Structure 1
Amino acid sequence: MTDIIVKIMVEVLGILALATKEIKQGLAKKYLKKLAGRTDIEDALGRLDKLTHDEALMATAQVLKISHNIESKVTRVDDQVMAVDSKVKLIIEDGKEAKTTANEARIVMQQTANAVDQVKSSYFPSSCSGSQMRQDLRRWLSPPDPSTNHNIARGTHHSGTASWFFEGSTFNEWKSSGSLLWVHGKPGSGKSILCSTIVQDIEVMCEAGLANMAYFYFDFRDTTKQSRHNLLLSLLIQLSARSDPRCDILFSIYSTHDSGARQPSDDILFHCLKGMVSLPNEDPVYIVVDALDECPNTSGMPTPREQVLDLIKDLIGLSLPNLHICVTSRPEIDIRSALEPLTSLCVSLHDQSGQKKDIIDYVSSVVRSDTKMRRWREEDKILVVETLSERADGM
């Protein structure tokens, strides 16, 4: 592919060199008269015609493999063709006797410029300027949809839940500095509900154009939400959905994989994610991951959970001030060992009085809204609320 482009440029530059030589010598009229009859120019134009028609058509079949540095070379050739065209216009004004030959030269140069334009437009189509390419990228990667888990968690959210968390210094410090926030708690302590509320809070920033976010819910009931690979796929699609520069990065991976005919490896996906979160002059990136403990840790070397923990370590190791990562999980030993050394921003839901109040408020809401419990005596309702809240222990 590169050879074909280079050949086209060589032939065009060869013609330009011959024209420039004659013009610099002040032999414009003589040159124009000789142009149609010069065998070296005719041979060059013939070779160029063959390249820009036969081989260029064949080359466009592999359009998406051309790198962007070739585009700049073709653009420079296009500029040079336009410059010569301008010189030809000046030559036309030099005498009527050369007009016919000059027009022929202009036609040749215009055809060359058109050929270059055709190659440019074929080889470098717009990547992420519209929704169609984003749809193609989504179909190619086919990531699991975390919004299903998010909507379930939001459906069980009780008004006022986690207000203590969002008013605290830990959450605000995490939002303002590139860092890791680890929220842990026992099963049933409200981690997923809290996670969904964090997502909602960041979503407000995204809607205002102040941030870019991707989130993911691991789920022991859904095998598509239990691996690093699918986590990466989901994050990449989400981050590219609202950012053209980040979409262009993913598009380049799509291009080098035969326009989606092949699937990328985890290493390539990570480098793609690294490129997205490292872009300068872009909005801050927030990555929220819920229920890491529901990623399996029973088989494999490394296990799926170890792979995810390594991914988090690698991202934090980039030390990017605009990258904010939040992880929720049970306080299992392997997760604690991996995450505690990475951050001082840790929140234990089991130790939070605000979280205990959230549990009491939730139990009270259920007891008082249930049609059967409404008929109970008030003292019985209070007893149930106190008993369940005290013995819940996160469940």
Structure 2
Amino acid sequence: MFLRLCAKLNFSKRDRRGREKDEEQLGLSPSTKNHDRVVANDDVDVSSTPEAEALSPPRADLWEVTGERSDEKDRMALHGREKRDELSGPPPRTGDVCVVASDDVTPQRANFWEVAGGKLDENDRKALGLERPLLITDAIEGVIKSTEEKYREYQEGGLKIRKRDGGHINVRDSAKNIILHALQAQDLVTKLVSFDPTGHAEYLAGILSYYAIVDNHYRERKVESDRELEDALIEVYIAVLQYAAEVKKAEQESNAARILKSVTALVQQPFKELKGTVEKKEQAVQKWANVTEALDHRRQAESMLDGIDEAVERLKIIQSHTRSLQDREILNWLSMASYSDPQNNARGHRASDTGNWFLNLPEYKEWKITPGKICWLYGAVGCGKSVLCSTIIQDIEEFCNSDPSRKFAYWYFQFSNDETQKVYNMIRSILRQLMPRTLPSSIINLWEEHSSRGSKPQQQKFADILDVVLESSQGEVFLILDALDECPATGDDGRSSLLQFIEEMLEKHQSKMHILATSRPEPDIRSRLERYQSVDLEIGLGQDVETFVRAQVAHGRLREWGESVRKRTLERLLDIPERRFRWADLQIKRLQESKTEAAFHKALDTIPATLEDTYKDALERLSPEDREVARTILIWLSFSAVPLDLKTVAAVVSFRFPADVVTTCTTSLVTVSMSDDTVRLAHFSVKEFLVHNEVEGHWYQFSVTYGHEAIANRAVDCLLEATEVLTKTTAAQQPLLIYTARYWHHHLAQLGNLHTSCINLQEKVDRLFTERNVYFNWMRSYYSKWLNEIWHQSFEELQSPLSSASERGLKSTVELLLAKGADPMRSSLYGQGDNALLKAAKKGHLEVLQLLLNRVDEIPRSVTKHMLMIIRATESDKEKLTMILDLL
């Protein structure tokens, strides 16, 4: 029987492919990639490669060793050459269990399970019930897969497991144990099957299969048990071969008709002896095989779980990356303000050893360690408040870094940047600075609600979320605000709103909030903040001014002058009752311009007593031909909607060389950022000196209205000059065009209804909407900041002139366009919801909306519903809203 099984080894390719398919479904490695190779091992033996064989000693064939240990009589019986009808191929060679025919593959040891199970025909397999192990294997494989899925679910946070007593379960160890036992059962079921209907050979076949598995799967696992395991296997194989020899001898003595009848009687006694021998050796085999088996199954279980851990970790990284991208988008939507730029600039202007006196004040130390306090620092213009504020911010930053639970945020109000003067922008920036690593759902929901439709949330929405963030903060929070007086005194988003915000923050978060603010002692600010802790900076900053002046005289360019000159300089600069950083800095720069000692003494003798006198002196020294140009530059720098770079300012006055802007206006009045060439007025006090509601005959002064009207006229003129269709490249080469396209209406809006009385300006605005190429160039230049593809769109794809005019509330222009037959319901070619009605409603221009409704006979229900939703969202005047509803 044993030899018959060994003889029938020539598997068909079809049978092998079917077996490989089953192995793939069970998650097992294919037995071989070459369908005609010897079927011996399930595992690929790397040591069988030529390279490995050259480096490693040959592996002993235990069957061959066992054969050598058998007696000569047994070996002769096993290798007899008698021809039999049942055998279709050559007998096995010495040293091989069985061989599969192949033209070019070296014979290898066969696996008895694969030989016996794979060679049986369909009827024999069905009769012996070999389908059942496959079904059991499927069930075991299902246990493994189910365990893997549950473990993955646990890793991803979707599965929570507790014991009945409430304790936690080590899910990984439990999963590993389940997989471990499933793998063991899988091995046994798939490898141990019945071979012989007599029942005796069933045991033998099981032994052969099991030990073939032990041989193939547990040898050379690189563990200490390998040698002992091989010895134990050899002993078992000896007993097996002895039994096989007995069967062989019995076959040689009997004819085929008698074998089936006598085989049971013939092998009873040898089988009993064999079974006894095997059972005696079994403990030794089990001892060493189990060691290797347990190690291997643990590695398999660990490998499975490690694979899941790795996959889950990769998924977490992907999810984290996705979340971080969305979080960054939300944070950028929340605020893109460069709040740290003024801090860095102020730190750059700080003289060594200045400001330290304040950090040692008892008032400051108490504020720093006691939550629920407001500390208000006040001082005159130019005394150095912003530089001192930068020193405080740096100190608080270091203080917070020492305790991760502490947080801080700051904001500089700047006269030279309109965007920094808005409380709305300040709240959004503070919220971003204090935002925890995991964004709260409230800000995500607000972003989802408004980003999709392009609307802006109300200020109170952000204030409410800020309250939530502060409430959830584990530690204390420091808020530092510089130059409250540079926030406009009027307007809904002005100083009154700011002061109310400060007091509400303190009231709501007494247990953790520290607030410090600087400003000039303006009456409205003093009335609200003087009841809190306040510090007059006059004395302390006066000492800092002296430190600064002495350092400049001793180490700056002034040190080149003689001792007597330096001594006189110190006396002259420090002999001022009210010392100001700004004033002292300007005088030192003025003295440094002297090229001779006589000029130096003249400058020293004519030092202006005040900042105003210093600015007047600088302007009066300009040549007559430069005065008008300088005035135009100063107007643009005083009222520009955003900071301008040198090229844009140079284009305003047609300068060929941008550097001439600074030389014309002098560094006393303007300053240029080295990082981005942004040019600004040198100090808030410069703007205060230049801007007067009532001009007193000084050529360099102007009113707010005059300044915005001048810029609006120049901006619209710039747009009207572009009568030929521009490309993206040609437009980018005109920096003034880009600014005017985006901000001309800002300056027009500052005039209120006054612009309608400016006949020339109104006519220019109307031309902007009625001249096709001009409008086309303006629209594409305007949207180029946000839509790069705008340069590829046609005129019909753009927003209609009537929609643009309605969106900006230009009532006179809307009337003109309606008179020319413009359709209020027209949208752009691909636009949705961008008709004139909806644009006017969205911006709250109810007078324009009423004008448009008077020209529409019938409004679609969807448009009406959308429009009403927009009007309610804008919180428009109730009386006007009622009037619009009546029209609908």
Q: Which 5+ residue runs of structure 2 have no aligned equivalent?
A: 1-156, 162-314, 584-888
Question: In structure 2, do the counterparts of structure 1 residues 127 and 330 end up closer, same or farther at CA, with 3 Å as the change threshold?
Answer: farther
Match of 1:266 among 422, 439, 459: 459
**1:258 shift after superposition:** 5.5
In structure 1, C-alpha distance between the alignment counterparts of 2:321 and 2:469, rounded to whole Å:
14
Question: In structure 2, do the counterparts of structure 1 residues 245 and 128 end up closer, same or farther at CA, with 3 Å as the change threshold?
Answer: farther
Aligned-partner residue type, residue 238 of structure 1 = Q
Corresponding residue SS for 1:327:
strand
**1:180 shift after superposition:** 0.7
State the Cα deviation string for residues 158-183 of structure 1 (Å, max 9, x = none). 12111111111111111111211111
Are the equivalent residues in 1 in contact too, given 2:479–2:515 (CA < 8 A)?
A: yes
Corresponding residue SS for 1:325:
strand
Aligned-partner residue type, residue 376 of structure 1 = W
In structure 2, C-alpha distance between the alignment counterparts of 1:164 and 1:128, rounded to whole Å:
46
Are the equivalent residues in 2 in contact too, given 1:215–1:235 (CA < 8 A)?
A: yes
In structure 1, C-alpha distance between the alignment counterparts of 2:414 and 2:333, rounded to whole Å:
23
Match of 1:355 in 2: 541
Match of 2:364 in 1: 171
Alignment of 1:336-351 (within 5 A): 336-341=526-531, 343=532, 345-350=533-538
Are the equivalent residues in 1 in contact too, given 2:413–2:487 (CA < 8 A)?
A: yes
Match of 2:499 in 1: 309
Q: Compare the two structures and name the one with the higher helix fraction.
A: 1
**1:189 shift after superposition:** 1.2
In structure 2, C-alpha distance between the alignment counterparts of 1:245 and 1:386, rounded to whole Å:
58
Match of 1:181 in 2: 375
Corresponding residue SS for 1:278:
helix
Aligned-partner residue type, residue 149 of structure 1 = P
In structure 1, C-alpha distance between the alignment counterparts of 2:493 and 2:332, rounded to whole Å:
27
Question: In structure 2, do the counterparts of structure 1 residues 129 and 160 end up closer, same or farther at CA, with 3 Å as the change threshold?
Answer: farther
Are the equivalent residues in 1 in contact too, given 2:409–2:480 (CA < 8 A)?
A: yes
Are the equivalent residues in 2 in contact too, given 1:239–1:246 (CA < 8 A)?
A: no
Question: In structure 2, do the counterparts of structure 1 residues 148 and 377 end up closer, same or farther at CA, with 3 Å as the change threshold?
Answer: same
**1:273 shift after superposition:** 1.2
Alignment of 1:115-264 (within 5 A): 131-178=324-371, 179-208=373-402, 209-240=404-435, 243-244=436-437, 249-257=442-450, 261-264=454-457
Corresponding residue SS for 2:367:
helix
Q: Which 5+ residue runs of structure 1 have no aligned equivalent?
A: 1-74, 81-120
What's the C-alpha RMSD, in Å, of the aligned pairs? 2.9
Match of 1:370 among 546, 556, 560: 556
In structure 2, C-alpha distance between the alignment counterparts of 1:390 and 1:130, rounded to whole Å:
61
In structure 2, C-alpha distance between the alignment counterparts of 1:276 and 1:213, rounded to whole Å:
13
**1:347 shift after superposition:** 0.8
Are the equivalent residues in 2 in contact too, given 1:141–1:233 (CA < 8 A)?
A: yes
Match of 2:639 in 1: none
In structure 1, C-alpha distance between the alignment counterparts of 2:322 and 2:385, rounded to whole Å:
38
In structure 2, C-alpha distance between the alignment counterparts of 1:128 and 1:283, rounded to whole Å:
28
**1:126 shift after superposition:** 7.4
Are the equivalent residues in 2 in contact too, given 1:185–1:191 (CA < 8 A)?
A: yes
Aligned-partner residue type, residue 368 of structure 2 = K
In structure 2, C-alpha distance between the alignment counterparts of 1:381 and 1:249, rounded to whole Å:
62
**1:283 shift after superposition:** 2.0
Question: In structure 2, do the counterparts of structure 1 residues 129 and 317 end up closer, same or farther at CA, with 3 Å as the change threshold?
Answer: farther
Q: Which moved more, 1:134-143 or 1:305-314?
A: 134-143
Corresponding residue SS for 2:376:
strand
Aligned-partner residue type, residue 496 of structure 2 = E
**Runs of 4+, deviation exceeding 4 Å:** 125-130, 245-249, 258-261
Match of 1:324 in 2: 514
Question: In structure 2, do the counterparts of structure 1 residues 286 and 360 end up closer, same or farther at CA, with 3 Å as the change threshold?
Answer: same
In structure 2, C-alpha distance between the alignment counterparts of 1:187 and 1:180, rounded to whole Å:
22
In structure 2, C-alpha distance between the alignment counterparts of 1:323 and 1:229, rounded to whole Å:
20
Report the number of matched residues.
Answer: 268
In structure 2, C-alpha distance between the alignment counterparts of 1:196 and 1:287, rounded to whole Å:
13
**1:184 shift after superposition:** 0.7
Corresponding residue SS for 1:244:
coil
**1:220 shift after superposition:** 0.3
In structure 1, C-alpha distance between the alignment counterparts of 2:443 and 2:342, rounded to whole Å:
25
Structure whose alpha-carbon radius of gyration is higher:
2
Are the equivalent residues in 2 in contact too, given 1:288–1:325 (CA < 8 A)?
A: yes
Q: Which moved more, 1:332-341 or 1:385-394?
A: 385-394
In structure 1, C-alpha distance between the alignment counterparts of 2:551 and 2:527, rounded to whole Å:
37
In structure 2, C-alpha distance between the alignment counterparts of 1:186 and 1:126, rounded to whole Å:
53
**1:389 shift after superposition:** 3.0
Are the equivalent residues in 2 in contact too, given 1:246–1:276 (CA < 8 A)?
A: no
Are the equivalent residues in 1 in contact too, given 2:413–2:484 (CA < 8 A)?
A: yes
State the Cα deviation string for residues 352-379 of structure 1 (Å, max 9, x = none). 2x322211011122223332x1222223
Match of 2:876 in 1: none
Match of 1:284 among 476, 481, 500: 476
Aligned-partner residue type, residue 221 of structure 1 = S
Match of 1:385 in 2: 570
Question: In structure 2, do the counterparts of structure 1 residues 214 and 134 end up closer, same or farther at CA, with 3 Å as the change threshold?
Answer: farther
Aligned-partner residue type, residue 551 of structure 2 = S
In structure 2, C-alpha distance between the alignment counterparts of 1:128 and 1:310, rounded to whole Å:
39
Question: In structure 2, do the counterparts of structure 1 residues 166 and 336 end up closer, same or farther at CA, with 3 Å as the change threshold?
Answer: same
Are the equivalent residues in 2 in contact too, given 1:128–1:251 (CA < 8 A)?
A: no
Aligned-partner residue type, residue 163 of structure 1 = N
Which structure is richer in relative contact order (CA contacts within 8 A, separation 6 or more)?
1
Identity rate of aligned residues, in percent? 31
In structure 1, C-alpha distance between the alignment counterparts of 2:320 and 2:487, rounded to whole Å:
34
State the Cα deviation string for residues 199-218 of structure 1 (Å, max 9, x = none). 11111133332421111000
